Structure formats: structure tokens, C-alpha cells
Structure 1
């Protein structure tokens, strides 16, 4: 069932992410949801139960008359064989070893193929992880694959693929999308539109040509989480007053500008560090402390060595929860 369990991580071997295969969006959601149920301590795959009604929601089937489609979906998934390339061999694998429908209980039970253990269990290195909620809303099967391939290189910020290599990884047959324009429109641009709106990543891409022919793509990868969370970021020229209004104490326009610059214009961060300062007993000088807190990203509790003595002004008694709500604009 897609509830709080969406917050659990999906952890996959990079070999599995780069394997050559193609799944529909519904099939991707099944595999990813199963993957999210694996616990770090698991040494063997388990049986994973779904209520049929939840399974149908996962597949996006809205008409109850189509419940009969579910066994066909899992049967097709059982048939999907894919290839993982190791240094000395190529391995053909299936995703599932069994699917069981419990009659009269409205439950379907799935189990991963045991040959997938090296790629999903007890991973210590060369893996990629992300939250199921970051990807579950995608509707294009290619978008799921491209997201994972870019997530691998998120910290690097870019990744280049030979065009034919990328098509192979995505499981695209050699006689399909032979024209680059079709591949760009139906695969890359379609995936880009979804990923940039529905996930924690966004990407742009550059076309690399050999003569007039596009032979490779360079993806430029951005994590949009911080951008989406910076809901208080200043977008106008009145930032000096907005920063000063956060403080109960008087600060100069120059001090406000320094704070604003240190926070890269993120009002949310300034308010966060100011709340943190209010919860300290003694700080010698408020503005320098805030600037240092922004630079070093102080988090509660603050180590003693980071706190100076502070007695410039009389400390007020604060209800921290109420103050937080007020400063964050909740009241």
C-alpha cells in the first residue's frame, strides 16, 4: 500500500540501474515499491503482500471492471527478461520468481527472483539510493530509467551518454526511433518534462555532434530540493527591510545586506538561524553569530565551542514553538 512506506529508500546497485531493460510505468512502480520494502538488514528476499485494491491504485487502474487486468500485468512482468553486464559475463535475469493470488482475501504476494540478491541486498558500495516519493508520480517508463541514470551522477552534476549506448540501456529496439528527432521528442523531451516537474531532479541536455549527426547527449543535472524548499527566498528589491523585519533587535542596513548575501537570499535560512540564536542562552554579538551560523549551517543542539558570550541586550523569554510559527509565517 502506498502510504508512509513511500518515505523508505530505494537502494539499487549501479549495475542494475545501468542494465538493459524496458518496463512500462506500471511495471516500474511494482518493482520500485517492492524495492522500497527491502530493509538494510535483509539477507534474503521476502514475500511482499499487497491488497488488490491498493495494487490497482499503484497501476493506475480506475475502473473496477478492469480488476481482471491485474493478473495479466504480473504475468507480463514475469516474462520480462533483462541483461546485466559484468566484467567477465552477461547475466540474463527475471524480476520476479513468483506471484501468488490469495483467493477470497483480495491479496497478491510477490517475491523477487533470488538471482537479484547481489544487486538489491546488503549493498556496501557502488549503489544509488533515493526516496520512492521522488519518482512514484512519473507516467513514462523512460522517465523512470532516465531519472535513475541521472541520480547516479547527481553530485557530479553532469553525465554524457553515447546515443546508441543510451538507447540500449533504455531497452529501445534498433529499428525504433531511428531518427534522432523522434528519439528526442518521444523519449528525452517527454522524460524531461515529467522529471523536471515531478521529481527532486531537473535536467537540461546538450547535443554532441559528429559532423551534422547527433552522436551523444550531455545531461546537466540539478537537484531542485533546496530550490523548492526556499519558499521565503527574496524575489524583489526590498530585501533589506525583509531581513530587518525578522529581527526583534535593531540591525543596520549594512548588517542586513551581509546576512542576506551570506544566505544567498534565502529568507527561510535566515529565519531558521535567528530562531536558533533565540534559543541560545548567551551570544556575544548577534549578527556575526547569525553569519557564522549560515556559513557553517548550525543545527540544534549547538556545541558549546560555537557559542560566544552574549549580553548586548536583555534576553526575552520565548515560547519557542510559538516564535517559530510566527517567524515562519504560520500565524
Structure 2
């Protein structure tokens, strides 16, 4: 079971489906999702080794052949809903599970209703490494992680979610009815876990209507120290395939994030090679040192105020020369004049009538 496998889901699915799974069930579903390949035409029966399945669920060897079938049987009963316009879809996660005695394997297959949200996704999808969720302890942490991950690059720098809507997404409508408990046991617990384990963290601000907290504003940060660093390599590549091989241990996560930032702010798609170049230049800049994605986001936002003919060349120049926060408002002409130089001691004496 490869922790570096990527889980891919459509943003629409993440933000418009409501389900209640135990932590173990979520790990099964997300591990299964990480086995779906980008070029798959249909869902396949995806195989788990029983030993890996046991490790995933924390089941000991004595009970593996009795407990695992119970877990998958319960999972098949978990029907959930997806709101698709004026259509309500009710579906289970799995269409079937198969055990072969003596094989040491179990096969699981996704419901075909999930195909539009997990296969052949052209745009507006979220992708992350399976390792980000496997060590989580709270059942709400993987779900909140996904919700924040798909909103990581909002132009305004945050995503605001109504408390009732968040409860609905988490299937926590009647869990911790007091907001103080909901905050303490779900929001803050998840905040601690994401900061410690995953590639993102968050701060939050409570929005009140009167005295009641009605919305939460999440400020999403990148946890660069939780991912491998990109090695320093040459910036000359023949094509995207070569770029992927010459940059040792290059995180595909970084490439996707940079491409998403540029597409979101600049309405332009860039190649993997260009994303790598942007990252390497941002790493060398002293501004936002240690957080190159923040620098790239800031410059991308500034680009929306400029008339740019060659975005790639302009962006590389900005990444090299950027020294201080950019002015987002154009300076008016009357502010461009340089003031006169005065001898202020002499001027003060004359104003006071002293010779």
C-alpha cells in the first residue's frame, strides 16, 4: 500500500456530498481512491493484501478473517447523498467486495455512480498524497482536510463556510450541539492534526450574527516542512517529460499547486517545466523565504492589475527582482512629484518671525 499514491476527487464532489464514515472506513475509501489511475476508463476491482488491510485498520492477526468482512459489510451499507443540481443521488460507496480464501487478498469495487467525480477529471479537481490522512486520529480530520485542500488557492486568501453547512458536510448536525463543543472537539482538534501531520494547516476566524457564531473563515497555509524539498537542478529542459526526470524527488504536489495558482489568478495554463522554473526562482528569493508558494501567489495576484504580454517572462523577472510588497493600486500623477528639499530649522525660524 503506497503512501505516495495520489487521491483525486472533483471539487464539486467534495463540496456537495454529505456522508458519515468512521475513521477506518474513510481510510479504506481514500486508499481505494488512491488506486484509481488517471487513465482508467471504468472502475476496476482494486486489490488489497489482507496484511496491508489489517495494518490500515489496526486489526490484529488473530481476528483478521472475522473482523475484516464485518468492516467491509458495514461499509457497503453506508448510503450517502450527492446533490447534483436538481437531482439527488443516493449511493453506496462500494458495488461489491470479494474475498478469495488462501489468496491473502481482498477486492473492492467503487459504485459506478462515483465515476464522474473520480475518473477522467479535466479540471476543478483536488489531488493529494494518501500519506496526509493515514495517521489522523479524528474521524472529522480527513473530511475537513479535503474541504480546505480544494479551497487552498482562493483569490481572497480564505474560504468562509457557514457553521450549519459545515455541520452538514461533516454529517455532524446533531453532534456537539453547543458551538463551543463543536469548536473544541472538531475544529481545534482537526487544526492540531493538520498542522502536525498534513501538507496544509489553517487558522480560523469566527463570523458572528449578533452574538451567535454563524460562519467560520478558514485561512489555509502550506506546510512546506511536511513535504520533501525540491532539489537544486538545472533549469534547462527539452520537454515536460525530461523535466520530471532531471529534478530529483520533485513533488508533483508543488507542480500542481503552482499550475493551479497561475490558472486561478492569470487565467492561463502553464507547463510542468514552467512551474518548476517558477518554484526554483521563488526558492532563491529572500521574500517569503521558506514559503515560495506564498510568493508565487502574491505575484500572481499582482499580475491581475498589470497589462502583460508575455506572462512567463514577466513572472520570472518578478520572481528574480521582487524585494518588497507590491503596490496593487496604480499611483496617481500628482503623487509622482518629488517634494522640495527644505532647511526645516531655517524655515521654522522664518515662520515664527525670527530673523
TM-score range, shorter chain: 0.5 to 0.7
Pairwise CA distance, 1:22: 1.5
CA contact (8 A) 1:230 1:268 kept: no
TM-score, L = length of structure 1: 0.68
Pairwise CA distance, 1:78: 0.4
CA contact (8 A) 1:22 1:141 kept: no
Mapped to 1, the partners of 2:130 and 2:93 lie a distance apart of: 18
Q: How many residues in Structure 1 have an aligned counterpart in Structure 2?
A: 244
Query: What is the match of residue 10 of structure 2?
Result: 13
Mapped to 2, the partners of 1:161 and 1:92 lie a distance apart of: 24
Gaps of 5+ in 2: 231-282, 293-315, 323-355
Query: What is the match of residue 128 of structure 1?
Result: 126
Q: Does 1:208 align with 2:207?
A: yes
Pairwise CA distance, 1:125: 2.1
Q: Deviations over 1:247-282 (max 9, x none)?
A: xxxxxxxxxxxxx9943485999xxxxxxxxxxxxx
CA contact (8 A) 1:24 1:140 kept: no
Query: What is the match of residue 54 of structure 1?
Result: 52
Query: What is the match of residue 193 of structure 2?
Result: 194
Relative to structure 1, the CA distance from residue 123 to residue 186 in structure 2 (aligned partners, 3 Å threshold; closer, same or farther) is same
RMSD, matched Cα: 2.8
Pairwise CA distance, 1:295: 2.0
CA contact (8 A) 1:143 1:195 kept: yes
Gaps of 5+ in 1: 232-259, 270-290, 298-331
Relative to structure 1, the CA distance from residue 119 to residue 159 in structure 2 (aligned partners, 3 Å threshold; closer, same or farther) is same
Mapped to 2, the partners of 1:91 and 1:267 lie a distance apart of: 44
Query: What is the match of residue 176 of structure 2?
Result: 177
Mapped to 2, the partners of 1:262 and 1:41 lie a distance apart of: 37
Pairwise CA distance, 1:229: 5.9
CA contact (8 A) 2:202 2:221 kept: yes
198-207 or 156-165: bigger deviation: 156-165
SS at match of 1:135: helix
CA contact (8 A) 2:197 2:226 kept: no
Query: What is the match of residue 113 of structure 2?
Result: 115
Residues 96-175 of structure 1 mapped to structure 2, 5 A cutoff: 96-156=94-154, 157-172=157-172, 174-175=173-174
CA contact (8 A) 2:224 2:291 kept: no
CA contact (8 A) 2:199 2:226 kept: no
SS at match of 1:263: coil
Pairwise CA distance, 1:9: 1.8
TM-score, L = length of structure 2: 0.63
Q: 1:263 aligns with which of 272, 286, 306?
A: 286
Pairwise CA distance, 1:203: 0.4
Mapped to 1, the partners of 2:229 and 2:50 lie a distance apart of: 39
Query: What is the match of residue 43 of structure 1?
Result: 41
CA contact (8 A) 1:11 1:130 kept: yes
Query: What is the match of residue 24 of structure 2?
Result: 26
SS at match of 2:136: coil
Mapped to 2, the partners of 1:267 and 1:212 lie a distance apart of: 39
Pairwise CA distance, 1:181: 1.0
Mapped to 2, the partners of 1:266 and 1:127 lie a distance apart of: 29
